[in-house]
Structure 1
Amino acid sequence: METNTKKYPFAFKITVVTSFVVMVAVNAFANILPFNGISTGEVSDSYPNLFAPAGITFSIWGVIYLLLALYSLYQFGIFQKKAVLDTPLYNKTGTFFVISSIANAAWIFAWHYKALALSLVLMLIILVSLASINTILIKADLTVKDKIFIKLPFSIYFGWITVATIANVTAFLVDIGWERFGLSEIFWTIAIILTGLLIGGFTAYINRDIPYALVLIWAYAGIIIKHVSDTGFNLSYPSVIITVTVAITLFIVDIVYIIIKMRKI
């Protein structure tokens, strides 16, 4: 990534870090207190559906927060020799990151107080912000360190939010009592899984983004765990399990194809 003689504004760096800290703090206190007397996971459980993954799947947030913390520190010149960075690139990614962080913190309140329509709008804001960041990074000339401390955090975050958006839509439909046009819940769950496969697989391929695809595999593996677990659905929906297994297989094929394409470049 080519550097600029004009320094990335220090005040904006602080804004980026502050928005990150606020996001993490709100998410933490939402479960410590908890907000509205209910944890984030318990809110999810109150909208039962066949797409929701096992609780262990959400541990990926620890990885996301760690990587975003490294991104926040990287802009100060940590992990590199100097803090003079590509101002246009950092202004654009930083702006969208601040927007996504504020929306993330606001989402927690909407979710805990079961304002599902508002939570969906906020989730879409996060999704669009991360999609915008990834579009910017794809077009940028990144160094190896840039790919580790900028591209990787947002690839993983974007991958998880892609699945989270689908889950949020599903919870919203449960909340409004959607009748699925008279079709079975199994049918619509399979349709949702395949929709995630198409969107995620296409996005990973177009962006040549292996970490993004790996996150989708992790999320879909969580769905399988929920369905085969004794504390979950206990193998009650074999067609859903088969569909998710096929989806994971195709994600792996997608990754292999991306690797082959990248080697030819």
Structure 2
Amino acid sequence: MNRDIARQFSVIFTTLFALVLNGAANALPLNGRNTGEISDSFNVLFVPAGYVFSIWGLIYIALLAYTVYQALPAQRQNPRLRATGWWVSLTSIANGVWIVFWHYGLYTLSLVTMLVLLAALLVIYLRLKIGKTRFSTLEKFTVSAPFSIYLGWITVATLANATALFSYLGWNGWGISDVAWTLILLAVGVGVAAVMAFTRSDIGYLLVLVWAFAGISVRWAALPPLNLAGYAAAGLVLALLAASRVRRPARA
């Protein structure tokens, strides 16, 4: 078996690994609690309303599209897939392992694993040159968009995972209130969005942030500072996206 075929099979098997573990985590559920129940058990505010997590369905559909596309014999020597395939396998392994750590209360290891997942997605994103190069219509939906959406969500999820861990460890936030920290995190998210808007003008990535920030507002509708801040953050990201599309540079 040559290296290209091994890469294709690796992506298939690791994608199935991630899907099976995520499905089992909520169907069984793993260790007696589903993933959302564990998230809700932490006293943290940087968590959106439950419906927002339905984005995982879109992420997995997109990941399956990539997996099927990269498995085609005609794509065996595709340079973009060669550059990303092994990293995609790493993201799926990290995704599945994160589920195990999260469900069994190994929250420090869950954050480490989430950071591995984030780093691997960044490598994929940079190697694909998303926002810097053109893709065919087919590859937009099977290669580019999946990782724009995935990276956008894991950007938010990493911040949420970190706040959950700090809550679990009993960190007092240096005396800063939970509401203030959440406002800071929203500001950080908008800052990341600004960088992505003016360096990549990536619609998929930025719309995921809008989805997440608006979801924080919905969850905390009874808490005016967060309700207003979440919508403000979502609105700012939309404005950044619009501005970046107006002045986006030509792509090769």
After TM superposition, the score normalised by the length of structure 2 is: 0.93
Judge conservation of contact 2:11–2:67 (CA < 8 Å) in 1. Answer: yes
Distance 1:83 1:162 in 2: 29
Residues 83, 187 of structure 1: alpha-carbon distance in 2 compared, 3 angstrom cutoff: closer
Match of 1:250 among 204, 215, 236: 236
Paired position in structure 1 for 2:58: 63
In structure 1, which of residues 10, 22, 25 is the aligned counterpart of residue 20 of structure 2? Answer: 25
Kindly report which structure 2 residues correspond to 1:149-228, keeping only aligned pairs within 5 A, or say none. Answer: 149-228=142-221
Q: Is the 8 A contact 2:4 2:76 kept in 1?
A: no
Query: 2:197, 2:206 within 8 Å by CA — same for their partners in 1?
Result: yes
Give the secondary structure class of the aligned counterpart of 2:220: helix
Matched, 1:113 2:104: yes
Cα drift, residue 195 of structure 1: 1.1
Give the drift of 1:109: 0.6
Shift of residue 182, structure 1, vs aligned partner: 1.3
Corresponding residue of 1:83: 75
In the TM superposition, what are the counterparts of 1:127-142 in structure 2 within 5 Å?
A: 127-138=118-129, 142=135
Alignment RMSD? 1.8
- Taking the aligned partners of 1:250 and 1:151, their CA distance within structure 2 comes to 24
State the shift of 1:34 in Å. Answer: 1.1
CA distance in 1, matches of 2:198, 2:115: 22
Distance 1:258 1:147 in 2: 19
> Which one-letter code corresponds to 2:228 in the other structure?
I
Consecutive unaligned residues in structure 2, runs of 5 or more: none
Amino acid at match of 2:156: V
Match for 2:236: what amino acid?
Answer: L
Retained in 1: the 8 A contact 2:152–2:206?
A: yes
Identical-pair percentage: 37
Gaps spanning 5+ residues in structure 1: where? 1-6, 229-234
- SS in structure 1 at match of 2:22: helix
